[in-house]
Structure 1
């Protein structure tokens, strides 16, 4: 018995030693400028970046320059235990973390535990969300991506290790009033339930540069067609072709801009599950109707979920290529199989794309658990149900984008689920949750993870709320009224119709600025909408604090240290601070440098917290010193307006330089260099007078979009 006991003790110690030996520093290989990759264990064949299929834009990454590895390599650990991956990365004392999914209530994710799981948002920032991207950005200038299609658990500075290099000091709750139930943690730890995974680290001088590298590594940001940045409305579910005609006429009567209309489930013969085939009772001649709309400058976007009805002509061919479980009694095609994608492509191309349909709204690929396939489901490719859940939105974005690209036509649509690698996809996330404040926080958080979000407008309890929501959506990636449920119109509240129209027209006037901002997303990786934590001059600065950190002695430092999810940057120069129903005033945190009121040019402040009371008519917007804002006259369509005069506004005291980007607005020819830029420069001449100059760069002799450029100096 003694020998047996000794033998088992040896086995125990050998086993423990084996586990400890598996926890080793990661080995890093630079795969692009400022980007490193490490591999632990045996990575699975299905992962996020493979599902997205994007190719890194190496030349653009090179232009950002070389960087050193941004973390102490000896403190980046991985271990394999019980068929799972354990990861650990270091954290500094004041370090803040952003990203890790599309959150609606929090911006700084340090001190949170998240289970990254594609799901419908359940009103809690717990990691179950529409885009649970396993990528975090540090304010210290680096980012970490875990390329696994599993449900990853993240402990973002919550676990306190016994072997910590900077251990928390024990406190006595009985006598110490500063006792903290969550002691200081110096590590981000993750649990990946997989036999192996790839890990990427992105370096940058600033958090913005980190995000740029992430987006460029994933193909660069999307450049939508011009019409995608106009105004859109989604029609009630059972609308007919006649209803659409009447709606277009009503928009024209009310002089309200409109570029594309969304058809909800009733365009199909059956939905929930879907046939993807036109209901000829509501749309007797889809091809003629689509052409009629295109002739008016109106695009059509079709709602769908991917689950196939037994009534569909595709059903027999798709059934052997589908999962073991249905959704709403519809087949769930395994789109990791090329054969399944090809069947859908054949039908969609023939009956949608070939007749001029411009895009899709892809619904119901997010959750809830009791709606989608369970994790016990199986798929013919061998892809686990969990993995399919994490990548399904990516697969649908990738394949539909490719169909349009084959026709050299850009698209712009809506999606309910996304994940890492989606930066280049022309899709904007939306959901059924409807909290205005939280929608703006989501807009901020989208900028860290390479996805787009729209704070859509559906309904409101009051005219004030309606206007405030409309003001917000007109400064977002997609200006959408979603009237599918109750048919609410932009003019449904007559007492604010004028103001609603004004802000919608303002969006159209800003199209040159918006389009150039999205071009920057593609070429440079800078997201169009930016959380304040990505803005130079906004970060918390320890050296600025003298004495105790509190709202009285250090109001600015206290403000930027908090979660700032109620204001954002749109492009390089515009700071947008939405108002919410019931508010007559609000605070705005201005980054370092001078800022000016967009509407009047009046000086607003510099590196400080201000209070504004704009009245009901205006959404507060501020312009950075030296900012240049190009604008066009009011238009009802984003395209088809011919050569337009350009009004160029310059704000502030600093000289400024900005680039207006233009191309055909429809095709992918810009990727072959077929585009025009207007270099706008404002400076004082030798007499101290402001002067604006324009340099047109048009190497391929494209038709000039803008002429009669007029400078306005907002002094």
Structure 2
């Protein structure tokens, strides 16, 4: 890896807050003279060449796009991306290409990446009077079958640190980026089991009844999650147990722990006036509110300490070992609920920069509270250099196809993503979604708005039990994959192009992924009765039947989820 500094970088950048940053400079082959930098009245611009047929991937959790060559990406934290424009729960200014390198820009601004645009070349005249009759064909006609330029614009900044990584495959490059970030996260074995989040209005007695249902029916469940109803006030949060729904909260926690459940609590960081934290955090928060609650400045050590000390004393010491950190991303295109970019914080950080760092700083604060306690929790915003945090991204969106693309994409950027299951439109829809969740890094059933277990209305308890038992069988393999992630930076879930970068057939596959060292997973949605699956060169067997399957493209028709095992070398 190699660091190149242009101009004078800003103060509040992701490396400033990366506690385990591991920069180890090495020789590189990339010709750095090809990278140009200029200052403009809009910020700064970096340009570098992209070769014809060089493909671009990454930029964080991209639910709407995969193969980014020829597109414009503005990396803005946003909870409701509606198009392939770069908006994301977890934008990361890191990209990789099929030409053996990756680049990380150390910024928390809403940077824009023009991924393969043509420069002024003083072209000779080339007569062409061809006419097209559709918009699609018209714009396809303008695609550039030539070398182009990656132009990166960072607003406001007067300088930037650029980090360049090289490797034989995209997996090699991403592993180095993750090692630079502090390595992959280490997770407890129980965190790789089954998560079930209870109905938001559940009482303490109903939570215990739900837990008893799992144990009595021998349905695997390792983590019980409580949604906003456990708070006495939840929008914003009090961080105190509700006296009506949970007058017996100590009994509930004791019952769950006694029956081998781990406990995860929902919250967000906006502090209600009824909270014991309110007055002591008032001077350590921004000058705008969210839902009439304080926005803590987690840049400051004092704010983090007060927030984490409270959680340790009142929740973690009680027996809580996980948290779902909600709404630390930004308002979406539908509802304007978050703080404005013009907010002012005691630390001096800008609002747009804080949006892009909020999730990371929130995770750090909660890890300080947890101390030596192991966790595998959830967060709704993460960004650059996040691989060492044992948190998994989730969403309020619910398109199954987008969720699968999220699984495929997350591995490019040091992120983890759960294609969580809530309800299903049909039995097939529910089962297809659960199949995807079982073969992902976190198997999460989020029944926060379901008064009963969501499979009961479809009468498919036995099918659900079989799938969740399959998840139990996967835990040893997943644990090894995470140990490898922690040690080497190789993500536990990867797009096919990451391992098989030399195989052009993998370049556009955004609905298959590699899980661990040997599994290839090809989920199906409810609308599919069959699908095409690509198996790269090698020896493969069907996960379910053990039968040998030839590499290459194959057509699959099944009610199950297509999974294949690669032979060990």
SS of 2:520's equivalent?
strand
Q: Is the contact between residue 537 and residue 592 of structure 1 (CA under 8 Å) also seen in structure 2?
A: no
1:371 counterpart (337, 351, 366): 337
- Please say if 1:134 is aligned against 2:93: yes
Q: 1:230 to 1:293 in 2, by over 3 A?
A: same
Cα shift at 1:490: 5.5
Cα distance in structure 1, aligned partners of 2:349 and 2:428 = 49
Cα distance in structure 2, aligned partners of 1:441 and 1:481 = 19
- Please say if 1:187 is aligned against 2:149: yes
Alignment of structure 1 residues 213-252 onto 2, 5 Å: 213-252=176-215
- Please say if 1:599 is aligned against 2:541: no
1:620 counterpart (559, 562, 567): 562
Partner of 2:464: 500
Cα shift at 1:55: 2.7
- Please say if 1:124 is aligned against 2:83: yes
Partner of 1:400: 366
Cα shift at 1:578: 0.8
RMSD: 1.9
Partner of 2:116: 157
Deviations 1:33-57 (A, max 9, x none): xx11111122111111223433328
Alignment of structure 1 residues 72-151 onto 2, 5 Å: 72-82=31-41, 84-151=43-110
Q: 1:168 to 1:429 in 2, by over 3 A?
A: farther
Q: Is the contact between residue 597 and residue 623 of structure 1 (CA under 8 Å) also seen in structure 2?
A: yes
Q: 1:467 to 1:57 in 2, by over 3 A?
A: farther
Which structure has more relative contact order (CA 8 Å, sep 6+)? It is 2
Q: Is the contact between residue 71 and residue 116 of structure 2 (CA under 8 Å) also seen in structure 1?
A: yes
Cα shift at 1:613: 1.4
Partner of 1:411: 375
Unmatched runs of 5 consecutive residues or more in structure 1: 1-34, 59-65, 541-556, 627-655, 657-715
Cα distance in structure 2, aligned partners of 1:497 and 1:171 = 66
Partner of 1:543: none
Cα distance in structure 2, aligned partners of 1:573 and 1:345 = 39
Give TM-score, length-normalised by structure 2. Answer: 0.94
Cα shift at 1:258: 0.5
Partner of 1:49: 15
Cα distance in structure 2, aligned partners of 1:383 and 1:109 = 31
Partner of 2:243: 280
Partner of 1:354: 317
Cα shift at 1:280: 2.8
After superposing the two structures, state which structure 1 stretch, 580-589 or 147-156, moved more: 580-589
Alignment of structure 1 residues 479-558 onto 2, 5 Å: 479-489=443-453, 491-536=455-500, 539-540=503-504, 557=505
Partner of 1:37: 3
Alignment of structure 1 residues 691-702 onto 2, 5 Å: none
Give TM-score, length-normalised by structure 1. Answer: 0.75
Q: 1:621 to 1:47 in 2, by over 3 A?
A: same
Q: Is the contact between residue 64 and residue 81 of structure 2 (CA under 8 Å) also seen in structure 1?
A: no
Partner of 1:584: 529
- Please say if 1:334 is aligned against 2:334: no
Partner of 1:384: 350
1:609 counterpart (522, 539, 553): 553
Partner of 1:569: 514
SS of 2:75's equivalent?
strand
Cα distance in structure 2, aligned partners of 1:445 and 1:498 = 32
Aligned length: 558
Higher Cα Rg: structure 1 or 2? 1
